Amino acid sequence: MTTIAINKGGFAEATRRAPEHVMRLERMGAAYPNRLSFMRSLIRRLSAENAVVTRPVWEINDQGYGRAVYSVPLGGDIYSLVAFAQPLAPENRSDRVIAEAWDATYALFDGVPTTQDLDRLEANAPKQEAGRYEATELSLSRSNKSVRFFQHVVDRLSQGQQPDPELVNSVGYLMRTTAVYGNGKLGFGDRAIIEKRPAMRGSFQVEMLNVWLIRGFTLDLVEHVARAKNPEKFTPMNAQTRRSLGIGNSTGLGLAPFLVNHCVLLNNWMEVREVALARVRAVETADASAIAQIQTLMTRAARHLDQWNVADERQMARIIELRREWPEIISLASADWLAQVHPWDRLMQAGAGYSVECQELIAALVLEPYGDLVDDLCDELAADVKPTLEPMMRVGQLADLLDGNYKFALDVDFSAAEAQHFFWYVSEAKLEPRLGKRFEEDGAEKESPLDIARRAQALAHDLDGVDEAQTVAEFLMAHPEHRYVARRVQTSQHHPYCEIHDNLLAADCLPIDMLRYKLALFGASKFDPKSDLWTRINMFQGAPLFEDIAAKDADDWWLPVLGENA
Touching other proteins, residues 227-256 (CB under 8 A): 250, 252-253
Stretch that binds other proteins, among 67-75, 158-166, 228-236, 525-533 (CB under 8 A): 525-533
For 505, which DSSP code?
A: T
Residue choice 8, 10, 196, 232 for contact with other proteins (CB under 8 A): 196
Number of residues that bind other proteins (CB under 8 A): 72
Residue choice 73, 371, 391, 396 for contact with other proteins (CB under 8 A): 391
Cβ atoms of residues 86 and 123 within 8 Å: no
What is the closest distance, in whole angstroms, from the C-beta atom of residue 344 to other proteins in the complex?
A: 38
**Phi, psi dihedrals of residue 310, rounded to the nearest 5°:** -135, 160
Residue choice 160, 231, 449, 563 for contact with other proteins (CB under 8 A): 449
| Sign of the dihedral through C-alpha 436, 438, 439, 442 | positive
Residue choice 530, 545, 548, 550 for contact with other proteins (CB under 8 A): 530
What is the closest distance, in whole angstroms, from the C-beta atom of residue 191 to other proteins in the complex?
A: 7
Q: What angle do CA 435, 436, 439 make, to 5 degrees?
A: 155
What is the closest distance, in whole angstroms, from the C-beta atom of residue 317 to other proteins in the complex?
A: 20
Round to whole Å and give the CA distance between 362 and 346: 11
Q: Which is nearer to other proteins, 35 or 488 (CB)?
A: 488
Stretch that binds other proteins, among 62-70, 143-151, 220-228, 314-322 (CB under 8 A): 143-151
Stretch that binds other proteins, among 46-54, 203-211, 471-479, 554-562 (CB under 8 A): 471-479
User: Secondary structure of 512-549 in the HEC alphabet?
Assistant: HHHHHHHHHHHCCEEEEECCCCCEEEEECCCCCCHHHC
Burial (Cβ within 10 Å: 0-12, 13-18, ≥19) of residue 462:
middle
Q: How far apart are the first and last CA of the chain?
A: 38
Q: Which is nearer to other proteins, 423 or 522 (CB)?
A: 423
Residue choice 6, 317, 416, 477 for contact with other proteins (CB under 8 A): 477
Round to whole Å and give the CA distance between 180 and 193: 18
3-state secondary structure of 509: coil
Name residues contacting other proteins, limited to 293-352 (CB under 8 A).
Answer: none
What is the closest distance, in whole angstroms, from the C-beta atom of residue 524 to other proteins in the complex?
A: 17
Q: Report if residue 186 touches other proteins, rule: CB under 8 A.
A: yes
Residue choice 54, 532, 548, 550 for contact with other proteins (CB under 8 A): 532
Give me Rg for the CA atoms of the chain: 24
What is the closest distance, in whole angstroms, from the C-beta atom of residue 190 to other proteins in the complex?
A: 5
Q: Which is nearer to other proteins, 18 or 478 (CB)?
A: 478
Round to whole Å and give the CA distance between 74 and 200: 9
Q: Report if residue 262 touches other proteins, rule: CB under 8 A.
A: no
Residue choice 314, 386, 461, 494 for contact with other proteins (CB under 8 A): 386
Q: Report if residue 100 touches other proteins, rule: CB under 8 A.
A: no
DSSP letters spanning 159-183: TT-PPPHHHHHHT-EEEEEEEEEET
Name residues contacting other proteins, limited to 481-510 (CB under 8 A).
Answer: 481-487
Name residues contacting other proteins, limited to 30-69 (CB under 8 A).
Answer: none
Q: Report if residue 190 touches other proteins, rule: CB under 8 A.
A: yes
**Residue 458 CA from chain centroid, whole number:** 32
Residue choice 5, 6, 135, 239 for contact with other proteins (CB under 8 A): 135
What is the closest distance, in whole angstroms, from the C-beta atom of residue 310 to other proteins in the complex?
A: 14
What is the closest distance, in whole angstroms, from the C-beta atom of residue 292 to other proteins in the complex?
A: 41
Cβ atoms of residues 99 and 92 within 8 Å: yes
Round to whole Å and give the CA distance between 313 and 131: 40
Stretch that binds other proteins, among 48-56, 60-68, 145-153, 309-317 (CB under 8 A): 145-153
Stretch that binds other proteins, among 301-309, 329-337, 491-499, 529-537 (CB under 8 A): 529-537
- Cα–Cα distances (Å) from 479 to 118, 458, 472, 487, in that order, read 52, 11, 10, 13
Residue choice 44, 55, 185, 394 for contact with other proteins (CB under 8 A): 185
The single-letter code of the amino acid at 170 is S
Name residues contacting other proteins, limited to 403-442 (CB under 8 A).
Answer: 425-429, 431-436, 441-442
Cβ atoms of residues 346 and 294 within 8 Å: no
Give strand ranges (E) for 291-402: none
Give every CB contact of residue 410 below 8 A, 6+ residues apart in sequence: 402, 403, 456, 457, 460
Q: Report if residue 174 touches other proteins, rule: CB under 8 A.
A: no
H or E stretch at 35: none
- Nearest CA to 237 out of 143, 152, 333, 353 is that of 152
Stretch that binds other proteins, among 205-213, 269-277, 315-323, 474-482 (CB under 8 A): 474-482
